[in-house]
């Protein structure tokens, strides 16, 4: 059970884990539902919500990216808040919680801890925003690099390369996508392939986790609701 718990946390961390451009696309609020198929585990249901936040403690253009995942014996959730200032994305706050058969942990990173590096929710949004025009779109150039903090505040580094642009078919519809191959430079046999919506930053269309050339898990978008910004703003601190 210990091995499986670590495996679940690793997949969730990398997924629930987790850039030079031209003009960056503005965010749009959405709620997306997914099915996550993990080798050796029951299928998991994941919900991702991107919403604009009205808050006295963080004035300005503040957004929250929240993900939750659940299977029969385990669950996890995390939220990252960030502020947009032109093309700059500044992480503000991060919380996460994981539970396996009633046993789990909670984590929190505040604004002072996130000043220099973002949390993984903010990093995922930033990656999706910059991927469509990233310079590292060819094997002839060096990969791009993304530094962020994991749920415990430890610095993590991902290399990535844009591998494909094209329409992506999902059970929720067909959307313009951009696919990014990401990997830990110290674990070259493990790759996460993220396919983002090209025009809606933060929206993941699908994901594949490949280890030693074998697909170990894949994520599928099953339902999508796009909201107007004024429908998602709230007064939570």
Mean pLDDT calculated for residue range 201-212: 96
Handedness of CA 93, 62, 170, 128 (dihedral sign): negative
State the pLDDT confidence band at 176, using cuts at 50, 70 and 90: very high
> Which SS3 state, helix, strand or coil, does residue 63 take?
strand
Cα 21-26-32 angle, rounded to 5 deg:
110
The per-residue pLDDT for range 94-112, each reduced to its tens digit, is 999 988 766 778 999 999 9
Annotated domain spans of the chain: 2-232
The per-residue pLDDT for range 115-136, each reduced to its tens digit, is 999 999 999 999 999 999 999 9
Cβ partners under 8 Å of residue 32, min gap 6: 47, 48, 49, 172, 203, 204, 221, 223, 224, 225
Predicted pLDDT of residue 26: 77
Decide if pLDDT at 23 tops 60.
Answer: no
Cβ partners under 8 Å of residue 39, min gap 6: 215, 216, 217
The per-residue pLDDT for range 49-107, each reduced to its tens digit, is 999 997 666 666 999 999 999 877 788 999 999 999 888 899 999 999 988 766 778 99
Residue 176 has phi, psi (to 5 degrees) of -70, 125
Mean pLDDT calculated for residue range 188-209: 96
Integer Cα distance of 110 and 130 in angstroms: 24
Range name among 8-22, 37-51, 64-78, 206-220 with the lowest pLDDT average: 8-22
Residue 162 has phi, psi (to 5 degrees) of -75, 125
What CATH number is given for 2-232 in this structure? Answer: 2.50.20
């Amino acid at each position: 059970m210990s091995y499986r718990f670590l495996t679940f946390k690793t997949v969730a961390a990398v997924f629930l884990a987790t850039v030079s451009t031209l003009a960056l696309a503005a965010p749009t609020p959405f709620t997306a539902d997914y099915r996550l198929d993990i080798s050796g585990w029951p299928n998991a249901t994941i919900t991702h919500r991107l919403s604009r936040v009205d808050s006295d403690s963080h004035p300005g253009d503040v957004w929250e990216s929240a993900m939750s995942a659940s299977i029969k014996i385990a669950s996890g959730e995390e939220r990252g808040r960030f502020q947009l200032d032109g093309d700059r994305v500044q992480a503000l706050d991060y919380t996460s919680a994981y539970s396996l058969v009633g046993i789990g942990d909670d984590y929190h990173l505040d604004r002072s801890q996130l000043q220099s590096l973002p949390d993984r929710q903010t990093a995922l949004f930033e990656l999706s925003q910059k991927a469509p025009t990233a310079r590292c779109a060819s094997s002839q150039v060096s990969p791009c690099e993304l530094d962020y903090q994991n749920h415990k505040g430890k610095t993590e580094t991902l290399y990535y390369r844009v591998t494909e642009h094209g329409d992506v078919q999902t059970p929720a519809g067909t959307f313009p996508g951009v696919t990014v191959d990401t990997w830990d430079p110290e674990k070259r046999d493990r790759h996460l392939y993220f396919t983002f919506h090209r025009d809606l930053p933060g929206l993941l269309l699908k994901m594949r986790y490949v280890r030693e050339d074998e697909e170990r898990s894949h994520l599928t978008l099953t339902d999508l609701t796009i909201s107007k910004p004024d429908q998602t703003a709230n007064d939570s601190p």
